[in-house]
């Protein structure tokens, strides 16, 4: 048996650690436990730089069976049949939170900038952010996720002031909301009275863009003379609020900056990765 200097440094503590590891190994589940959990349970008194050598010493005595699969190391109490182990399954709520996190960050930044930008611009940005988050939640619920679990996960994960701002625009996000499912049938869109011709033109542009969606640049190019970007932001925000269009920030390729793309409510939104790359179901 090899001699490990780290074991010598432990002196009398080595036997105590052996007894502790023997007791712990009997309760390790068949799927093993992460190495970090094992170290926290049994090697808390061992100097951090000595722990890898102590783990090797324990493995040489067949008290534990560390297994590396890729970048992850798990500890087993008995020799596993395979050196490849099943990764812990990520819950639907965890997947949703990881996807919605970038959009919640943008909403947080928008709320923080309320005093430094005009009211119309801040309102337009906030509406777009809320629309993206709402669309993501609806998509996950349609795929079988539990609305109450997603909502509770968001309140536990994100800042309370951001969640309150979100709930003020989207009531189903409120902490005390009693809505447990999302109705598939949407109410009849509200009709905008002022600026009707320009709004209808934007809807026509978005309709023509189809499943790929229209960008703000596409909308500006369709007007002559061109309106200011602030006017376009305001009109897009009003159309989103009226549920005549929906929007989400995405990119079509991994390179380049993400941009807002707008779709009709009847058009299925593309699936977004954590890097905001869109996957279209053509």
Let me know whether 126 and 72 are in one domain: no
> Which two three-digit tokens encode residue 211?
């499943």
Q: Say which CATH number the domain at 30 has.
A: 1.10.10.10
Domain contains 183:
no
Domain identity same for 101 and 67? no
Q: Are residues 105 and 35 in the same domain?
A: no
Q: For residue 280, is pLDDT > 60?
A: no
pLDDT tens for residues 55-85? 999 999 999 999 887 667 889 999 887 766 5
Residue 220 belongs to domain spanning: 196-279
End-to-end CA distance of the chain: 61
- Both tokens of residue 127? 């509406």
Of 21, 46, 76, which closes a domain? 76
Task: Note whether 169 and 205 are same-domain residues.
Answer: no
More confident residue, 3 or 36: 36
Q: List the structure tokens of 278.
A: 């869109």
- 229-241 helix and 196-209 helix, angle to the nearest 10 degrees: 80
- Report the predicted TM-score, pTM, of the whole model to 2 decimal places: 0.38
Structural domain contains residue 84:
no
Q: Three-state DSSP class for 279?
A: strand
Whether 196 has a pLDDT exceeding 60, the answer reads no
Confirm whether 229 is domain-assigned.
Answer: yes
The count of domains in the chain is 3
Q: Dig out the tokens for 276 from the structure.
A: 């905001």
Residue 161 lies in a domain: yes
For 22, residues 6+ apart whose C-beta sits below 8 A from its C-beta are 63
Confidence band for 19, pLDDT divided at 50, 70 and 90: very high
182 within a domain of the structure (yes/no):
no
Judgement on whether residues 214 and 269 belong to the same structural domain of the protein: yes
Residues 53, 14 share a domain:
yes
* 79-128 per-position pLDDT tens digit: 887 766 555 566 788 888 888 888 888 888 888 776 666 667 777 778 88
Residue with tokens 């598939």: 184
User: In terms of domains, do 106 and 164 share one?
Assistant: yes
Instruction: Give yes or no: residues 71 and 98 share one domain.
Output: no
Geometric angle at alpha carbon 67, from 63 and 72, rounded to 5°: 130
Q: Alpha-carbon distance 250 to 252, whole Å?
A: 7
85 is a domain residue: no
CB-based contacts of 256: which residues, under 8 Å, 6+ apart? none
Same domain, 275 and 200: yes
Distance, CA of 37 to chain centre: 25
- 31 within a domain of the structure (yes/no): yes
pLDDT above 70 covers a percentage of the chain that reads 83
- Ranges 191-205, 206-220, 226-240, 254-268: which has the least confidence: 191-205
Q: Are residues 168 and 224 in the same domain?
A: no
d(CA 251, CA 37): 38
**Residue-level pLDDT at 184:** 52
């Amino acid at each position: 048996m090899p001699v490990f200097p780290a074991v010598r440094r432990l002196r009398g503590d080595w036997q105590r650690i052996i007894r502790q590891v023997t007791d712990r190994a009997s309760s390790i589940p068949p799927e093993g436990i992460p190495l970090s959990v094992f170290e926290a349970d049994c090697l808390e008194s061992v100097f951090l730089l000595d722990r890898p050598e102590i783990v090797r010493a324990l493995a040489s005595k067949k008290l534990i069976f560390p297994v590396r699969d890729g970048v992850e190391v798990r500890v087993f109490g008995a020799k596993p049949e395979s050196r490849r182990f099943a990764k812990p399954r990520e819950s639907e709520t965890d997947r949703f939170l990881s996807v919605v996190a970038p959009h919640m960050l943008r909403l947080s930044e928008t709320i923080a900038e309320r005093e430094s930008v005009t009211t119309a611009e801040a309102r337009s940005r906030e509406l777009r952010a809320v629309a993206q988050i709402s669309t993501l939640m609806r998509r996950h619920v349609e795929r079988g996720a539990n609305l109450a679990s997603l909502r509770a996960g968001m309140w536990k994960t994100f800042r309370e002031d951001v969640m309150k701002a979100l709930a003020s625009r989207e009531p189903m996000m409120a902490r005390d909301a009693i809505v447990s499912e999302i109705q598939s049938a949407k109410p009849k869109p509200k009709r905008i009275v002022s600026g009707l011709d320009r709004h209808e033109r934007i809807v026509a542009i978005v309709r023509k863009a189809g499943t790929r969606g229209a960008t703000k640049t596409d909308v500006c190019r369709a007007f002559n003379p061109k309106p200011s970007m602030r006017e376009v932001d305001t009109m897009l925000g009003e159309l989103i609020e009226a549920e005549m269009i929906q929007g989400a920030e995405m990119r079509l390729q991994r390179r380049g900056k993400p941009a807002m793309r707008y779709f009709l409510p009847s058009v299925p939104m593309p699936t977004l990765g954590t890097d905001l790359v869109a996957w279209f179901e053509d």
